[in-house]
A = this chain, B = another copy of it.
């Protein structure tokens, strides 16, 4: 399923490594023509859908190893904006070249299908989060997701810095800033974590998971066929 050595090299040749970006820089803006996919190497990036007067819906936070821009393939224009949250290194994969390459390397095409599919699955999970879970469960899910992703990349799963603001977390989770802030305070009081500004230490990951499972069991007394 993976790529052959030889194919990896070919892919490697079309990837562009740009100089580091800084907090506030845009990878692309909503409406701009789609030219490349981006991979975060270090740092973090948020994608968001801007609305008329400065409001925005945060669509995702992207950590090292994660791909950005998949929603732009369809109409060759970006549907959202991508902004760097901290000094970051981001690679660029010109999509035209990539697509051409993937017609010649079936396993590359396969990986791309999987990546796109994974993104859909992830979005669907978020739909359930926003559709069914309460504030507490949303924040727990968010922290556990970060934890898992840090861990996979070899960082500490229980001690990390948030590169995004409370406001951005709130937007992502469909909550008001104040609610997010209060939840951090409460989680700390309950001994679930230690929070100091952007610095988070998860003290009881199991109990955080419990918050999610508890929800699953809340379920529904109302059946639906």
Give A residues with C-beta under 8 Å from B. 24, 49, 51-57, 59, 70-74, 79-80, 99, 102-103, 106, 109-110, 112-121, 123-124, 126-128, 130-132, 165, 167-168, 171-174, 177, 216-217, 219-220, 222-225
Closest 6 CB pairs of A and B: A73-B117, A55-B220, A123-B123, A116-B116, A131-B174, A130-B130
Contact (Cβ within 8 A) B222 A120: no
Task: Give the distance in Å from the alpha carbon of A217 to the alpha carbon of B54 in the complex.
Answer: 10
| CA of A167 to CA of B106, assembled, Å | 43
The verdict on A131 contacting B130 (CB below 8 Å), with A55-B219, A73-B114, A99-B110 known, is yes
Min distance, Cβ A162 to any Cβ of chain B, angstroms: 15
Tell whether A52 pairs with B124 under 8 Å between CB atoms, given A112-B113, A167-B222.
no
Q: Is the CB of A117 within 8 A of B70?
A: yes
Check B116–A120 contact: CB distance below 8 A: yes
Copies of the protein in its oligomer: 2
In whole angstroms, how far apart are the Cα atoms of A168 and B220 in the complex? 13
Contact A223 B54 (CB under 8 A): yes
Given A52-B216, A127-B126, A217-B52: A224 and B71 interface contact (C-beta under 8 Å): no
Q: Is the CB of B73 within 8 A of A113?
A: yes
Q: Which residue of B lies closest to A119 (CB)?
A: B120
CA A132 – CA B176 in complex, angstroms?
Answer: 10
Whether B123 and A120, one on each chain, are in contact in the complex, defined by CB atoms closer than 8 angstroms, is yes
